[in-house]
A and B are shown apart, each in its own frame.
Chain A
């Protein structure tokens, strides 16, 4: 599986990573090498195998549907780069 510059551009956009034009070529080569190496998985017979959903067999625990924590808006916002009136501040998203 070869990953070309166009694919790198597409994946980078999906991942919200800005990659410089000069890095795209290098990354296309590295990702192609890695994916070619991973390709050997296709040799494994899995026609009747279920995909793993939990590595340890366990029943997820239930808990009462009650609020037991909260009221910590200041803590939540403490690490934000910009806040106003108890909110995060982002770039304008609605024109």
Chain B
């Protein structure tokens, strides 16, 4: 097979090809390494690891030859550079982790490698996963492989979304077959929508957070980015599971998600939350949302309008809870134990100088907000209030799930925008996550899948939100939607095909 045919395969198809000996993992991985080299300008990877990839591919071929294949044996995967990888630089896209080489492997990536996955490299992201456009990375902006075919954005480089922008760009541009990202308020789903790929945030607790660099510990969750719902099911099955090293990882069985995809949506109730119909929503997104509901209705589901009254408060609530947790988590970057050190005249001067030089503007902004809302005199008015509002948001979701099984919404209020836009207006940037943050605040699983193109020729995603630990049903509904949407468009930057 030609290289561009190899890089175009889904994970499911590549597994079949590997098992039938149509090609080797070494060939498959080399095709992706070469494609990645040719697309260096997308800046999707901070640290490519081609030598490690080829060593892992050779081991995968040996396992395949002795019929000892795991769920992902021989499949080349990009890893968001927020997961610690033993012996490979891990940066969180921050200057402050310059030179940090983890002496241990994160649990999620260890699970992938145990199932035979092959690491292509460490994917770019917003610094410490804080951002919605992948423009805050110390290692430079990531470019979306899609380009507008008409309108004012034509000819401009576009953002891939964020924070898992490198992961989404790599999967969309066919320089990775799948990727692992993390999602705190939409960091998998929103870039998946902007790049026309599938992105899934599992239930909080489904995947271990051990060895993942912490942003907001009560929200952070790892998940897959892939080019099909089936691939997401395969990757999630490999990543998920209880881990004694993370006390918030849940000790319940991981179902066979791929087998569960065959479940019918007939008779399921799909809720349409009316509060997501925001005033300034582009008509195209509203139309796609209605089309999505119609597709599910035709597949046998019942569509019900439901109400989540606290929807508009989820985002401001998030911007207390997440920065508060971030300010605490990022206190560990002191210049002494790892990463950058800027020596000062005394210890406090060393701390302050190191952190000023090491953290970028957005990270500093969030540390400042978090420190403020946790500080004496403001804790009750802000942090405690936000934690109460968060309880009510979760109660809202619990109530609607007595009326329906799954929710359908748009993923983001726009398609990809130009690099450089919204840079001077933090709140405008935060509003990218208006539809993704509520499910995060309630810890629920949610998935974005590409459902169409807008008039500019850019992909738009639809989001499904499920009940806690009901990823199997979420994925089966997603597959029904995927079949109906029949999205077969590809970005201009996606190899030779």
* Total A-B Cβ pairs within 8 A: 160
Whether B250 lies near A41 (C-beta < 8 A) is no
Q: Does A30 contact B (CB under 8 A)?
A: yes
Q: Does A49 contact B (CB under 8 A)?
A: yes
Which A residues are CB-close (under 8 A) to B100?
Answer: 79
Whether A51 lies near B387 (C-beta < 8 A) is yes
Whether B384 lies near A17 (C-beta < 8 A) is no
Which A residues are CB-close (under 8 A) to B351?
Answer: 16
Whether A60 lies near B247 (C-beta < 8 A) is yes
Which B residues are CB-close (under 8 A) to A63?
Answer: 244
Which B residues are CB-close (under 8 A) to A67?
Answer: none
Q: Does B23 contact A (CB under 8 A)?
A: no
Residues 42-95 of A contacting B (Cβ, < 8 Å): 42-44, 46, 49-56, 58, 60-61, 63, 72, 75-76, 78-82, 88, 90-93
Whether A52 lies near B327 (C-beta < 8 A) is no
Q: Does B4 contact A (CB under 8 A)?
A: no
**A80-B320 in contact given A11-B371, A16-B352, A52-B391 (Cβ < 8 Å):** no
* Chain B interface residue bracket vs A: 35 or more
Q: Does B348 contact A (CB under 8 A)?
A: yes
Contact residue among A17, A30, A42, A50 (Cβ-Cβ distance under 8 Å from B391): A50
Whether A46 lies near B250 (C-beta < 8 A) is no
Whether B443 lies near A78 (C-beta < 8 A) is no
Contact residue among B204, B335, B386, B427 (Cβ-Cβ distance under 8 Å from A41): B386
User: In whole angstroms, how far apart are the Cα atoms of A15 and B346 in the complex?
Assistant: 16
Chain B window 43-67, contacts with chain A (Cβ cutoff 8 Å), 1 for yes, 0 for no? 0000000000000000000000000
Whether A27 lies near B247 (C-beta < 8 A) is no
Which A residues are CB-close (under 8 A) to B215?
Answer: none
* Closest-CB distance, B290 to chain A (whole angstroms): 29
Whether A15 lies near B313 (C-beta < 8 A) is no
Q: Does B295 contact A (CB under 8 A)?
A: no
Q: Interface residues of B: mostly helix, strand, loop or mixed?
A: helix
Whether B103 lies near A72 (C-beta < 8 A) is yes
Contact residue among B345, B350, B368 (Cβ-Cβ distance under 8 Å from A11): B368
* Closest-CB distance, B368 to chain A (whole angstroms): 5
* Binding stretch for chain A, among B142-150, B268-276, B336-344: B336-344
Q: Does B456 contact A (CB under 8 A)?
A: no
Residues 9-32 of A contacting B (Cβ, < 8 Å): 11-12, 14-19, 27, 30-31
15 A-B pairs with C-beta separation under 8 A: A14-B375, A17-B355, A33-B426, A40-B313, A42-B385, A49-B389, A49-B392, A51-B391, A54-B248, A58-B248, A61-B247, A81-B341, A91-B346, A91-B349, A93-B347
Binding site for A on B (CB under 8 A): 99-101, 103-104, 203-205, 218-219, 244, 247-248, 250-251, 310, 312-313, 316-317, 319-320, 327, 331, 334-339, 341, 343-353, 355-356, 359, 364-365, 367-369, 371-372, 375, 382, 384-392, 394, 426-427, 441-443, 468
Binding site for B on A (CB under 8 A): 3, 7-8, 11-12, 14-19, 27, 30-31, 33-35, 37-38, 40-44, 46, 49-56, 58, 60-61, 63, 72, 75-76, 78-82, 88, 90-93
